[in-house]
Each structure stands twice: as structure tokens, then as C-alpha cells.
Amino acid sequence: MRPYAIEVIGLKKSFGKQVVLDGVDLMVPTGSVYALLGPNGAGKTTLINILSTLVAADDGEVKIAGYDVRRELDEVKRSISLTGQFAAVDEKLTAEENLNMIGRLCGLTKPEAHLRTSELLNHFDLMASAKKQVHTYSGGMRRRLDLAISLVISRPVLFLDEPTTGLDTTSRRVLWEIILNLKQQGITIFLTTQYLEEADQLADIISVINGGRIVATGTAEELKSRVGGEVIELRNAKDEVIRTIPTSGDMQDIRFTLNEIANKLPHDTKVSLRKPSMDDVFVALTSNSMQVEESIS
């Protein structure tokens, strides 16, 4: 088994004069969940489109499951599945009909397609609604069906572009369980997400992209450690967070910071200390002052 399922070196992409990816490097270990975070317009979807062969890069090297995206395109396509931002299902068909259709299009015999359909309907808890038209489904059910469709044929690498966007908390956590189950099956999962908690809960490795470049890579704990040992959190009289201030965590730094801001705050401001969160990481790494490429090993 190859140590890396996805290998990217010096990837570049522009649309006209707009540089979207500016020399992206990343390595995704086989069998891991790898999360890519970044603000809107940072290049997340463009990157995942290049990795999944939907868009050609201007420059750089990309290998998926050991195959070069430019020279071995057919082998790459046979190694990947993709679930995009929007559910790619036929709403006039039932879940059963959608899955059977994709199975037949992928080359399965009729009995094989029926068997795989039943397996996926059970796995994604859709059997009770299997014969209902998809337009009657909730957002969470559609998303589960969309993911099931991408798994009709088992592939070693799965791309998920913001898979839980628009889902309620319960549906999001159900999908998290499914993703972790897929990881246990040995599937490498590369996901983009706007939900920082999602990356924290799911990912073995997290990269942050900003301005078309990877600005940091590491585990959730490694990235949080960059922010500092403790975060000072300031709340107003309505118990609303009005400011967060990273500190090194030692008493001298905390005392100095509090003394600096004490005279600038209303007398009813509440002060508390907490450990850094992925929100703190995201804000720190995507601020203009930290747009430099850096990796934690």
C-alpha cells in the first residue's frame, strides 16, 4: 500500500488574471481523513476540482493513488469518487431507482446493481424511504443518498466538497458517523468544509488555505497550539463575546494583556480564560498578517 493516496507539488491555477492556486503542496496519507479549511474564495473548490479531474491545472504535479492526473487520467478516474456541494440526484426517481441507475451505468449487472443498492440503502438508513421520490426527502436524506451514490462502486479515494453544508446539527452528526465508518474501511477521504468543528472532529490532518496557498498543516491539536496556551475571552453584559485575545498561557503574559486592555473596557465586561478552538486557529491563520506558507511536521 502506498503511504500517500494524494500527492500534490507546486500546483497552480489561474482564471484569467485571477490567481486561484499559487503553488500548493500537500500529501494525504492513505486511509486518513484530510480536511481543507479556508475562507470563501481561498481556492478550496478549485483544488478539489483539479484533484478529482474536473479541472486541469496550469502547472504542478498531482498523483492520486499513485497515478499521475495528466498522464494516467483513466486510472485516476477509476480510483476516485466525488460528492460535490450540491446533491447530484434525480428528484423524480426514488432512492432505489437512483442507485440502480448509477450501478448499471458503472457496469454492474442487473442483479449486482440490485444487491449493491440494497446494501447502500441499509448502510445509509434509507431503506424505509427507498421507494419514495427524492423530491420528498429532507436535506439530510438527500445528502446521505448523494454520498451513497458516490459509493456505488468502491474507490480508494473519496472527495467530499463541503458535504454537510445546509444540514441541521443532527443530520450533520449522522453524516460524520458515516464518514468515520468509511475511514475504518480503509478509504482515504479528502474533504473541504466551512465548519471548523467538523474538521476538529473528523480529520487526522488539517490544512488551511488562504490566498491560494497552504498556510498551515497539522493535527487539530498542533494547529491549536500555534494560537497559544490560553485565550482571553471578553463578554459584555449580555454575555456576548466581544473579543478574544490569544496569549502564550503563562501568567506574566496574561497579566500584561489584561493590564493593557483594562482601561479600555466597560466596567461590566466579563473576563474568562479557555483553551484555543479551531475558530481561533482559523481567524489567526487567515488574517493578512499570517499569509505565509508554513507546515507543522
Q: What is the pLDDT of residues 13-70, one digit of tens each?
A: 999 999 999 999 999 999 999 999 988 888 998 999 999 999 999 999 999 999 999 9
> Are residues 233 and 219 both part of a single domain?
no
**Same structural domain for residues 48 and 140?**
yes
90, part of any domain: yes
pTM, two decimals, is 0.80
Measured CA to CA, the distance from residue 73 to residue 49 in angstroms comes to: 14
Largest CA distance in the chain: 75
| Shared-domain flag, residues 118 and 265 | no
Last residue of a domain, one of 188, 204, 223: 223
> pLDDT of 213-257, one tens digit each?
999 999 988 888 877 778 888 888 888 888 888 777 778 888 888
- Do 234 and 181 lie in one domain? The reply is no
Statement to judge: residues 217 and 233 lie in one domain: no
Residue 290, pLDDT > 80, answer no
User: Which of 189, 205, 223 lies at the terminal end of a domain, its last residue?
Assistant: 223
Residue 294 lies in a domain: no
Asked if the structure places residue 281 within a domain, the reply is: no
What is the per-residue pLDDT for 213?
A: 93
Among 154, 188, 223, the domain-final residue is 223
* Domain CATH number, residue 190: 3.40.50.300
Q: Is the pLDDT of residue 295 over 70?
A: no
- Whether residues 165 and 253 share a domain: the answer is no
Q: For the chain, how many structural domains are there in total? A: 2
Other residues' Cβ atoms within 10 Å of the Cβ of residue 46: 22
pLDDT tens-digit map of 67-82: 999 999 999 999 999 8
CA distance 168 to 83: 18
Residues 49 and 130 in one domain: yes
Reduced to 3 states, what is the DSSP secondary structure of residue 87? coil
- Of the chain, the end-to-end C-alpha distance in Å amounts to 22
Q: What is the average pLDDT across 195-207? A: 91
pLDDT digits (tens, 9 = 90+) for 103-131: 999 899 999 999 999 999 998 889 999 99
User: Residue 250 falls within a domain, yes or no?
Assistant: yes
Cβ atoms of residues 139 and 166 within 8 Å: yes
Q: Is 105 in the same domain as 84?
A: yes
Q: Say if 124 falls within a structural domain.
A: yes
If asked whether residues 98 and 23 sit together in one domain, one would say: yes
Residues 117, 29 share a domain: yes
C-alpha dihedral (247, 251, 257, 261), degrees to nearest 10 = 130
The verdict on 58 and 191 lying in the same domain is yes
Assigned domain for 289 exists: no
Residue 292 counted as domain residue? no
Structural domain including 191 reads: 4-223
Taking alpha carbons only, the member of 38, 25, 46 closest to residue 283 is: 38
- Domain membership of residue 293 (yes or no) is no
Name the burial class of residue 215, with classes exposed (0-12), middle (13-18) and buried (19+) by CB atoms within 10 angstroms of its CB. Answer: buried
Q: Are residues 192 and 248 in the same domain?
A: no
